Amino acid sequence: MNLFFREIKAARRSLILWSIGICFMVVSGMAKYEGLSGTGQSLQQMISEMPKSLQAIMGTGTLDLSTAVGFYAILFTYLQLMAAIHAMMLGANIIAKEERDQTAEFLMAKPISRSQIITAKLSAALANVVIFNLVTLILSITMVSKFSKDGESLTDIYLLMAGMFMLQLIFLAAGSSIAAAGNKPKRAASVGTGILLISYILSLAIDLNENIKLLQYITPFKYFEAKRVVAGGVLDPVFVGLSAIIIIILITLTYVSFRKRDLSV
């Protein structure tokens, strides 16, 4: 339990800074919504008839910019990216920092098993991710409801946040497994970010080209995409299942490889 609180305390400052970042994004983003809400209906219709690849370049997709939720969904794409980076770096650093800062020896000499160490560290990271998600949720709900017209439903936002939470868990697990299984702890965060960037760029490329749509199963950014969630009104069960499997595999990998890890002290 000590270790858990120690980790929470260590991540506190960065969590506060990230929260300020989200706050800035959501508040300043939604504040601009009013100026845009007058978009004509005919333009909206025209955009919806464009080929998918052109929509992707125009940056709107199939989202209806004239509603507050539709506008928020565009903002959500960037929030999702921020959340993924936060989770990935948190997961990688929380495991790798002991070796990086030469404190592994100190920690390992304590009378707790390696599995207990991982459990404490991962639960601390999980708590951070949950707080990150809740801060985003609360800010989003307050800002969107301030600008939405009567009768607009906000359930989409809860759904989007649930999707973002799954994405955060995937990247958290990915970060921790890279740090636990890789042989260079210093590189863990860089490798993780490299993978994250590749999957982000891949998700953009899939928007441009229908032929490589099959690749959407590889990149988590495609799993809970704003336009699909808003249009469907539900998280795709295939992707929820896929995410759960990925998370379980990566967490298991973290435990198994950290237990046998040759720590450099």
Partner 1 sequence: MNMFLHELKAYRKSTIIWAFSLVAILVLFMSMFPGLTRDAADFKKLLEGYPEGVRKAFGISLESITSLLGFYSYVFAYILLCGSIQAMNLGISILSKESREKTADFLLTKPVKRNQVVTAKLSAALTSLIITNGIYLAAAVIIAMAVSTKPFDIQTFTLISLTAFWVECMFLALGVLVSAVVTRIKSVLPLSLSTVFGFYVLNMFGAVIGEKAIRYLTPFKYYDTAYIIKHSSYETSYIIIEIIVIAGAIAASYMIYAKKDIHAV
CB of 261 to partner 1, least distance (A): 19
In the complex, what is the shortest distance from the CB of residue 139 to partner 1, in angstroms, rounded to a whole number? 15
Closest contact distance (angstroms) between CB of 38 and partner 1 is 13
Q: Is 172 in the site for partner 1 (CB under 8 A)?
A: no
- The encoded tokens of residue 206 equal 């899939």
Q: Are 155 and 69 in contact (CB under 8 A)?
A: no
Residues 195-224 within binding reach of partner 1 (CB under 8 A): 197, 201, 204-205, 208-209, 211
CA proximity to 95, closest of 246, 220, 263, 248: 263
Query: By the 8 A CB rule, do 147 and 30 touch?
Result: yes
Element (H, E) at 53: helix 52-58
Q: Which stretch binds partner 1 (CB under 8 A): 168-176, 188-196, 226-234, 250-258?
A: 188-196
Cβ neighbours of 197 (radius 10 Å): 12
Nearer to partner 1, 16 or 205 (CB): 205
Cβ proximity to partner 1: between 121 and 239 the closer is 121
DSSP-assigned states of every residue in 126-178: HHHHHHHHHHHHHHHHHHHHHHPPTT---HHHHHHHHHHHHHHHHHHHHHHHH
> Do you know the residue count of the chain?
265
Q: Is 190 in the site for partner 1 (CB under 8 A)?
A: yes
Q: How far is the CB of 141 from partner 1 (least distance, A)?
A: 20
Q: Which two tokens stand for residue 93?
A: 């650093």
Least distance in angstroms from the C-beta of 32 to partner 1: 4
Only one of the segments 20-28, 113-121, 148-156, 254-262 lies at the binding site for partner 1 (rule: CB under 8 A); that segment is 20-28
> Which residues does 262 contact at the CB level (< 8 Å), separation at least 6?
none
Task: Single out the residue of 3, 8, 23, 82 in contact with partner 1 (rule: CB under 8 A).
Answer: 82
Residue recorded with tokens 């002991």: 98
Distance CA 259, CA 257 (A): 5
Among 32, 110, 146, 184, binds partner 1 (CB under 8 A): 32
83, two tokens? 């959340």
Nearest CB to partner 1, comparing residues 40 and 237: 40
Buried b (16+ CB within 10 A) or exposed e, 100-127: beeebeebeeeeeebeebbebbbebbbe
Residue 101 contacts partner 1 per CB under 8 A: yes
Residue 41 is a binding residue for partner 1 (CB under 8 A):
no
Residue window 47-66: x/- pattern of binding to partner 1, with contact defined by CB under 8 A: --xxx-xx--xxx-------
What are the residues binding partner 1 (CB under 8 A)? 14, 17, 21, 25, 28-29, 32, 35-36, 42-43, 46, 49-51, 53-54, 57-59, 74-75, 78, 81-82, 85, 89, 93, 97, 100-101, 186, 189-190, 193, 197, 201, 204-205, 208-209, 211
